[in-house]
Every structure is written in C-alpha cells, then in structure tokens.
Structure 1
C-alpha cells in the first residue's frame, strides 16, 4: 500500500510541476511558494476541523524542524527550476534518495539492504540519462542550491516517518508544514517587493497548484509514514515518467531513445524495490 500512495503522490506532484511551469512565467518563485503553502493550509485546516483532529501537538519542535527543512527544500527546488535547464534542476532535486540512503547508513545501518542501494543508484542513473543534465560555470550557485533541495528533502522526509510512527496524525504534520511555509514565504515576499497583481485566469492556476500540491502532500506523507524511506524514495523516480507523459501531451515534448532507456532504468529501480519488499 505505501508503494501505491507514493505513485499517487508522483502523479499529483507531476501535475503540480506543470502548473508551476505556467505560473513561473507570471509571478516569482517565492510567491508560488506562498500560494502553494497557503492553499494547502486552508484545505488541510478545513479537513482537520471537519474530522475533529486537534491542531495541538506534544512535539512542536519536531514539527517546526520538519517544516523548516521542507520549506527550504521546496524553495531550493523552485529556485533551481527557475535558474537552470529543466533537466538539470529535476536531476538535482532527485538526489534526495541518495541523501536518504546516506542518512539511513549513519542512523539505522541495519535498515539498509544492498538491494535498496542498487535501486537508488539505478534510478538516479536513469534520471541522469533521461534528463541529460548540463552545467555551465555561470550556473554553479544555482546547481548547488539544487543539490541543497535534495539534501533538505531527505532530512524532511526522515522526520515525516518519525512523526507518523510516533503517533502524530498525518494531517497535523501537513498542517504545520503548510503553516511554516506560508508564514516564511509571506514574510520574504513582503521584504522583496510585495505580491504581483493577478489576472482572473491566474486564479485557476493557483487553485490547481494548491489542490494538486495538497493531494500530493497527503499521499506522500502516508507513504513515508508506512514504509522504509529508501523504499518509497526510490519509487519517487516514477514522477519523471508522469512528467514526460504530461510534457508529451501538453507541451509537445519529444521522447527520444535515450529517454526510453532512462525510463527503463527507473522502472528497473522500482521493480528492485518492490521485489525487496516482497522478500522481506
């Protein structure tokens, strides 16, 4: 079941990424982050209220730490997308399973099986071939920020699992993440010139951003709260496939032989992870 939740998260986040691509032509990255967090906060607050889930937590520091890591990761990822070629930025974002493996090796070495390490490396290799990243000396700082996105994503995901296994409701975890993201992005936007005036049609894209972002966050939190983080992290590579499908259908992006080969490596990565789950 965690594998299914992760695949659903990949679909929702792939759609959200396409929406971000449209919005980035009109508003700044930090504004996108604010709308993403603000709508997420609104949706989750309503669901929690209707479901009778308390907003109060016994581990506020852990929530703040997880949420801060997540907000930094999201901003770094958006920054990389805005300042690097799409393939390069996406590849750097998908370094997070590598960092998750390193974190697990340092904190829980018994949980890391060689099958999982191979799956992570295989999937990342598929991303590299699929996205064909290219660097220039002028983009070094943006590339480093993209790597930081992978690092902070791994740190955030590790704490999601701890919070869920510690008894925290998944919606409460998402609520605090959305709250911290919204507050931080609002403050930064105000300090950097304020918000861009929106047209009526922009509201549709912002609503789509919040809807698919929230759905992705809910399914991702369930996945990481119910399985080994390296297992679901490896399956996260499948988002690339969904993004390619959307790119082909809506942006007329061609699919070459190298792309097909990269997809094959990503699928092989997922098969290895699932095989290890069945054998465990």
Structure 2
C-alpha cells in the first residue's frame, strides 16, 4: 500500500475520533433526556446519560441561579429545577452586558452557548431579554438542524469509516463535508442571527430597527453590549476540518501515484 493511503487513513481516524468524543457520543447518550425532564419522566433517564452529562459539564458555565452543590450533578440540577443544557461541546458563545446586570452579580454577563443539538447557559434570561426587544425565543431558530444534527453526524461518521476502510475515490468527495464543518456552522449561525434580527415583533417593550447581530466580536444592541466568540467545540471542528483536509490531500496523492504507475 502506498504510504499516502496509510496517512489518509490515520488523518481520517483522528478526525473521526475527535468528532465522536466532542459531539456524536454525548449527543447520542443524552438524546431525548431534556424531553424526559420536561415531561416529568426523570425515572426513564439512563445512568449512562447522567454520567455522560456530569462528565462533559465539568468546568462549564452554570446559571447564577444554580446552587453550587448542584454543579456537575444532573440529578441535583433536576431536583433544584436548575437550567440544564445539553452534553455535547459548546461551539459558539454569545453574551450580553447591561447596566441592569451588574458585573458583581453577573461576572460573565448573560452568556448562552450554542451546540449542534441545543443550548446551555442563561437560556431563560436571554429569551427574556429577546422578548423585551421583540425577538423570538432562541428555540425558534435551527429547529430542523437540531433535529437532524445527530443523524447527519452519524451518517458522516459512517462515510468516514468507509473512507478509512476502502480506497475508493468517490469517498474522497464525502470527506469535503467534514472539512467544511467549521464553515457550515458559521454560515448557519450567521443566517439565524440575521433571521432573528430582521424578524422583530411589535409586542417588544422596546422598539428597535431590524439589525444584524454581531457574528464575531463585540457589538451593541440598544443598551446591551454583546460579545460573540467561538468556544471549545468550534476549535474541535477546526481540528476535524484540518485532519479531514489532510486525509483528502493524502488520498488524492496516493490515487495519483497509483494512476501514474498504471
């Protein structure tokens, strides 16, 4: 076997492992858990889902209303009716600062984190602020994407496994999807920010003109200062994209070497 074929398999394997650990595995194990909590079916939550949530949420932001003893303990979070986010790695963060949210009480402002399969952070408070300016609650955006996200990643993982096992040229084109994951997320995130900012309702207590929220960096909305930046999950996507690209380049080189010898 050409060395480039071997390298392409190694690079694709690394990309697959990162995607599995950062997103696919926690999304599978936690899938449907929030619905069970909402529908008072806590007894149906599997111990695996609880352990995975506890592990992946270590060190993550918890709402200021969450008792400290409930941090990183899903059972206690449920018992104290604390705000619970999903288990997968957060990809992007957005936070608001305003005079009515003093720095001492809210040292990180009002942050929310966007995941492939949901949200975490001060989601309830952010939706309250959005309502204040006539903006829809966050769950209105990306509903289809959140529903199919898990299945899309599972399908992509399957193609990556095929890419690793078989030296078919057509599988190289599929790998371009994993290469483009960071761009796909940013495009989706930008679109929904535009949608929210340009579909304001009259029931908002504070009237503002349609606007484009800041995608990356610091911005200003009414009396709020906004901060929008990538977080750990996005860097995981960059690594997936990088190793996927290396896998594609190595595979193309191997195919060219093989064709040149024919």
TM-score (norm 1): 0.26
Q: Which has the larger radius of gyration?
A: 2
Larger helix percent = 1
TM-score (norm 2): 0.28
